[in-house]
Amino acid sequence: MSKVRVLVGTRKGAFILESDGKRQKWDVSGPHFAGWEIYHVKGSHVDPNRLYASQSSGWFGQIIQRSNDGGKTWGPMDNKFVYDGVPGTHQWYDGTPHPWEFKRVWHLEPSLTDADTVYAGVEDAALFRTTDGGTSWHELSGLRGHGSGSRWQPGAGGMGLHTILPDPGDPKRMFIAISAAGAFRTDDGGTTWKPINRGLHSAMLPEPTAEVGHCVHRIAMHRSRPNVLFMQKHWDVMRTDDAGEQWREVSGNLPTDFGFVIDVHAHEPETIYVVPIKSDSEHFPPEGKLRVYRSRSGGNDWEPLTKGLPQSDCYVDVLREAMAIDSLDSCGVYFGTTGGQVYASADAGDSWNPIVRDLPAVLSVEVQTLS
């Protein structure tokens, strides 16, 4: 019988939640790496027992952990993330040049084809790769070396590279996103990159349609259609049908188009999910009602999903890494909140239940569907 394993990163450790395919009864293990911030935990697509975790702390910096047994045991790997060559500068908040400084790993993206190859998105924004299971990391500096790099500027949460989407149909193509530089694509395995932000409009920029500078919060893709991407931007939910050459807004009837997460149904490429957040100055659900919105038409027409979710006095946030989708026949949807709840739906969002209620603030949620 199929199983699912949910990997949860929180402000104070990692947790692993496991259930059978019914997804009704859950075993919770953790905290792993208690007391540390766990920005992300993700499993290999090739070997599901191979897990990688980003563990960090303001005191002691970055640790990368690896498990070979599905999270039962872990071991620290290389944590040396050194920018290639002379790092140069990007823009600081006041517009002055600021040296690139490594702070932490925001996102770990295991390769689709090799358990020892993993991409790491870091703050200050850069892309690193290991091809030896985390024993060493090397920067793919063509991204940061793109001509616009010196103009990138951090958002209030830092200048992190948070989204890494390998193209399942083209091993040389990959999409990434940076707050607040925007989205980029490589077509040559990471050697060169191009900004793919045409169609985005950000009123906070002096030039709202600038080539870079957009605060992209998250991008999602369905494996069967890698040219179709969905984006939750700072404001606006966007869509592209040509691998980012042109975006168009699909916010439609959402109560607010601010938010962080976005994801795609496992079996229905036009079914997408977001969690609207009131605004960039009020990071909680509108009206104190926690609602996932689902569109079955690839955007524009959205329906609120509320069954099992708190519909009064709820003022949590759902951060950009904190939604995931399993691939069971009845698609499961998961998300975590800054209030420490992880909610699961075993029926594609029609109804929800909390798996756990009282974790530390949830930073990331991933799910593995295990046979």
Partner 1 sequence: MSQGIIRVVLPAHLRTLAQLGSGEVQLEVTGPVTQRSVLDALEARYPMLQGTIRDHVTQERRAFVRFFACQEDLSHESPDAALPDAVASGTEPFLVVGAIAGGIY
Asked if 60 interacts with partner 1 (CB under 8 A), we say yes
* CB closer to partner 1 out of 64 and 365: 64
Tokens 């976005």 belong to: 262
Whether the link from the prior residue into 124 is cis, omega within 30° of 0, is yes
* Strands of 229-233's sheet in order across: 216-221, 229-233, 237-240, 247-249
Residue pair 188/173 in contact (Cβ under 8 Å)? The answer is no
Side chain identity, residue 272: I
Count of residues binding partner 1 (CB under 8 A)? 16
Stretch binding partner 1 (CB under 8 A), from 55-63, 156-164, 257-265, 314-322: 55-63
Which of 76, 99, 189, 208 touches partner 1 by CB under 8 A? 76
Longest dimension (CA), the chain: 57
The nearest distance, CB 259 to partner 1, in angstroms, is 25
Which of 22, 72, 82, 191 touches partner 1 by CB under 8 A? 82
Cα(134)–Cα(129) distance, rounded to whole angstroms? Answer: 9
Which of 10, 62, 251, 338 touches partner 1 by CB under 8 A? 62
Stretch binding partner 1 (CB under 8 A), from 17-25, 76-84, 174-182, 262-270: 76-84
Helix (H, G, I), strand (E, B) or coil at 292: strand
Query: What residues between 164 and 203 interact with partner 1 by CB under 8 A?
Result: none
Closest to 261 (Cα-Cα) out of 342, 169, 204: 342
Cα(268)–Cα(294) distance, rounded to whole angstroms? Answer: 12
* CB closer to partner 1 out of 104 and 218: 104
Tokens 């949620």 belong to: 365
Rounded to the nearest 10°, the torsion over CA 100, 192, 199, 208 is 30
Asked if 61 interacts with partner 1 (CB under 8 A), we say yes
* CB closer to partner 1 out of 101 and 245: 101
Which of 63, 108, 231, 237 touches partner 1 by CB under 8 A? 63
Asked if 59 interacts with partner 1 (CB under 8 A), we say yes
Asked if 12 interacts with partner 1 (CB under 8 A), we say yes
Stretch binding partner 1 (CB under 8 A), from 77-85, 172-180, 268-276, 281-289: 77-85
Closest to 264 (Cα-Cα) out of 176, 351, 325, 218: 325
Side chain identity, residue 41: V
The nearest distance, CB 60 to partner 1, in angstroms, is 4
Binding site for partner 1 (CB under 8 A): 11-12, 34-36, 57-63, 76, 79-80, 82
